[in-house]
Amino acid sequence: MLVSKEDFAKYPFLIGAVEYVKNLDLKTDELSQPEFSAVVTRAETRIEEALIDGITKWESRRGYEIELLSYPVAVIFVSNIDDNYLKKRYSLAEAKRIQSLLKEEVDEKLIEIAISVFGWNVKNLPLEVYQPFDFSLSFIDYLRNAPSFHDYRWKLVNKRLINGEVFLQKDEFSRLISEEVRKYIEKTINTSPKVELNPLLLQRIEHIKQRLNLRKERIRIKDQPQNIISAAYPPCIKNLYDFLISGQHISHVGRFTLTSFLLNVGMKVDKLIELYTPISDFNQRLTRYQVEHIAGVRGSGTKYTPPSCETLKTHRLCPGPDDLCTRIKHPLAYYRRKIRMIRK
């Protein structure tokens, strides 16, 4: 079924799409030629869309050839820039685009993608028998991706499981495929060898770097209240914060630690909720409930504090102590003492 150039342009991770590009045997030097100008421009635009909007756009009017070829060029650019935030931001943006496209496809196409690319054990369910479910997926394949989503709805215990198969609706199945795609793209970027680029392509990369630095600076300005001193964050909090703004997955303990710390040093609930939007499984209603509970707005009214350093080490959330860490036992104590040091 997946034989058209449109399908390859939509889903450049498909085996057929990869082989098509490979058979063209394009060299990076050729990309500077006028006939590839639109491809290179589109590659740069894809990355900018990821930085600005958090999702790459699909518009067939650009031409399927341009869309298809711009993807590997964008991967080359991101790989050469070698910035972890950009790698994860771009991978997630492409995965979100693919998820939105998959929702509009016929069920047979989703099954073909899942089987041919990822080797999943999946079946299409007759709607009149299994309504409201559309697919059944081996719980082994399900568990490869679902644990990345922290929403309680994705826990296996909350899914219908019969004879080792998890029953799913179409939007859920599309989400699982997109998560597999996200990991695939990120792995492709990380394993792509850096190549020598000519001056014209290096100019493109410099422009992307400028947009990247601007984006990072805006995040710092927007998300940090004036009364919070990020330079005083302990290493564990800085590490978790960097993970968060780059859209990386954080464990439940990690989220609780970061949330309770930021609330205790003065960040407002609404601002903290905004911070979680880059996470791929972001759910505003659930996130608000959890943040307000930690803040003491809901439930018992108790405002929670982050775990001790010893507890964070137990959960492997300590990236390694600095000199000040050796003299304190709690992240908030670190923050207060580091502020005094900075002000002196």
Kindly report, residue by residue over 108-166, the tens digit of the pLDDT.
Answer: 999 999 999 999 999 998 877 788 899 999 999 999 888 777 677 888 888 999 999 99
Confidence of residue 44 (pLDDT cuts 50, 70, 90): very high
Sign of the CA dihedral running 23, 25, 28, 33: negative
Mean pLDDT of 37-64: 90
Average pLDDT of the chain to the nearest whole number: 88
Beta bridge partners of 138: 165
Kindly report, residue by residue over 91-110, the tens digit of the pLDDT.
Answer: 999 999 999 999 999 999 99
Percentage of the chain lying above the pLDDT 90 cut: 56
Mean pLDDT of 21-48: 92
Distance CA 16, CA 140 (A): 26
Mean pLDDT of 78-88: 91
Distance CA 323, CA 99 (A): 45
Confidence of residue 280 (pLDDT cuts 50, 70, 90): low
pLDDT score at 219 = 65
Confidence of residue 287 (pLDDT cuts 50, 70, 90): confident
Confidence of residue 325 (pLDDT cuts 50, 70, 90): very high
Q: Give yes or no for residue 223 having a pLDDT over 60.
A: no
The model carries a pTM of: 0.70
Mean pLDDT of 215-220: 71
Instruction: Give 124 or 215, the one with higher predicted confidence.
Output: 124
pLDDT score at 134 = 92
Kindly report, residue by residue over 184-213, the tens digit of the pLDDT.
Answer: 999 999 998 888 888 989 999 999 999 998
Percentage of the chain lying above the pLDDT 70 cut: 95
Confidence of residue 332 (pLDDT cuts 50, 70, 90): very high
Q: Give yes or no for residue 224 having a pLDDT over 60.
A: no
Beta bridge partners of 29: none
pLDDT score at 185 = 95
Confidence of residue 274 (pLDDT cuts 50, 70, 90): confident
Confidence of residue 66 (pLDDT cuts 50, 70, 90): very high
Tokens of residue 31, six digits = 């990309």
* Residue-range domain boundaries for the chain: 5-98+189-214, 102-180, 224-343
Amino acid letter for position 45: T
pLDDT score at 147 = 72
How distant, in Å, are the alpha carbons of 120, 173, 279, 285, 299 from that of 295?
A: 42, 34, 20, 15, 10
- Report the 10 Å Cβ neighbour count for 317: 22
**Coil, strand or helix: which one is 298?**
coil
DSSP letter string, 251-262: -HHHHHHHHHHH
pLDDT score at 226 = 52
Confidence of residue 221 (pLDDT cuts 50, 70, 90): low
